[in-house]
A and B are shown apart, each in its own frame.
Chain A
Amino acid sequence: MKEQSTENRVRKTGHREQVFFMCLLFSVFCLLDFPVIASEKWPGVDETVVEKVAEEHGRKASVPLINTDQGDLLLFLFLLGGAVGGFLAGYCWKTIITKRK
């Protein structure tokens, strides 16, 4: 009986830690990304380095073959890519880990 209640206590503590960790991670991401919504800060290095130096030497970036950088389309495609990639990674990880068992 005592062992069962200790086990339940440990399980609840572990669950609380998991929830806390998830909230912390979520908050960190929100804090990191929030300034991006507010302004045009945080440019990528291809804008600040690659394209800048190339332009100084007479080379300009051209429009991609399939120009998805229109409105929110690019955001949607990144979200889709991230979701598919995340699902694939999680599924393959599960297959690798459970295969041993």
Chain B
Amino acid sequence: MQKLKFGVLVFSLVTVCSLLFNVSAVYAMHISEGILPFNWALLWYVIAVPFVALGLSNLKKYSSVDLSFKPLVGLMAAVVFIISCMPVPVPTAGTCSHPCGTGISGILLGPTISILITAVALLIQALFLAHGGLSTWGADIVSMGVMGSFAGFLTFKLLRSIKVNMAVSGFIAGLLADWATYITTSIELASGIRGDSPFMPIFWKILIAFIPTQLPLGILEGVMTGGIVVLLYKKRPDLLIKMRVLRPEEAT
């Protein structure tokens, strides 16, 4: 009980202090308002909507079956929101960026529900935190929600199927979820702004510009993902079995 109180206190203290001391305007990887032309912004919305709808349908289905599902969704929603707001200074690059958190939520909740909570987090950020934009909400859902969640989920499943250790699987899943998000952002940006110019040179230019910041941040995200998965495995293996993250024989 003492350890739990300590954990909650540390988490709250870290969250509040990191925001208190960051007096400069906060920037993020989300595509800012107005950058994408209307037709491209619409296209990403069209791609995002079915995934969000499926996530909503799955959330209703799982919530009605299992009451312990709701606190896990609440936890992941908070984690994704905080992590995707959290600017981390990268000394090697001299810039800031943020991890995504969608790798963790993709593993623990499944990719479709992870996409739904990502969409909600991005909407709140676009409306109140000048983070991303409403016109680019669809594009940000596709990059961070769809690609990040599926990359994390599929990587974890694949590695666990070949008996890779839980911590290592979580780490690589988080890493690839982060990198998949930024590769998709590069694709969205390059395709939207290129005009008559060729796609590939702009895509590589954007991707290479992301590398100094996202290479170390991907590693950080991998560590966080592996850490949370292992912690839940130790504290509530039964919940991981219910969520089909683990098979029953793996929990013994």
Q: Is the CB of A44 within 8 A of B27?
A: yes
Main secondary structure of the interface of A (DSSP, over half): helix
Q: Is the CB of B35 within 8 A of A54?
A: yes
A57/B193 contact (C-beta < 8 A), A22-B13, A81-B129 known: yes
* A62-99 interface with B by 8 A CB criterion: 62-69, 74-75, 77-79, 81-83, 85-99
In the bound complex, CA of A86 to CA of B10 (Å)? 10
Residue A99 contacts which of B7, B15, B71, B126 (CB distance < 8 angstroms)?
B71
A97/B236 contact (C-beta < 8 A), A44-B95, A88-B77 known: yes
In the bound complex, CA of A41 to CA of B82 (Å)? 22
Main secondary structure of the interface of B (DSSP, over half): helix
Number of A-B contacts (CB under 8 A): 220
Q: Is the CB of A93 within 8 A of B7?
A: yes
Answer yes or no: B210 CB below 8 A from chain A CBs: yes
Answer yes or no: A36 CB below 8 A from chain B CBs: yes
In the bound complex, CA of A68 to CA of B21 (Å)? 18
Answer yes or no: B149 CB below 8 A from chain A CBs: no
A81/B124 contact (C-beta < 8 A), A54-B189, A90-B12, A92-B75 known: yes
Q: List 23 A-B pairs, Cβ < 8 Å.
A: A22-B13, A25-B13, A29-B17, A30-B21, A43-B27, A44-B29, A44-B87, A50-B206, A53-B193, A53-B205, A54-B189, A59-B192, A68-B128, A75-B22, A82-B16, A83-B16, A85-B82, A86-B15, A88-B74, A90-B8, A95-B71, A97-B4, A100-B235
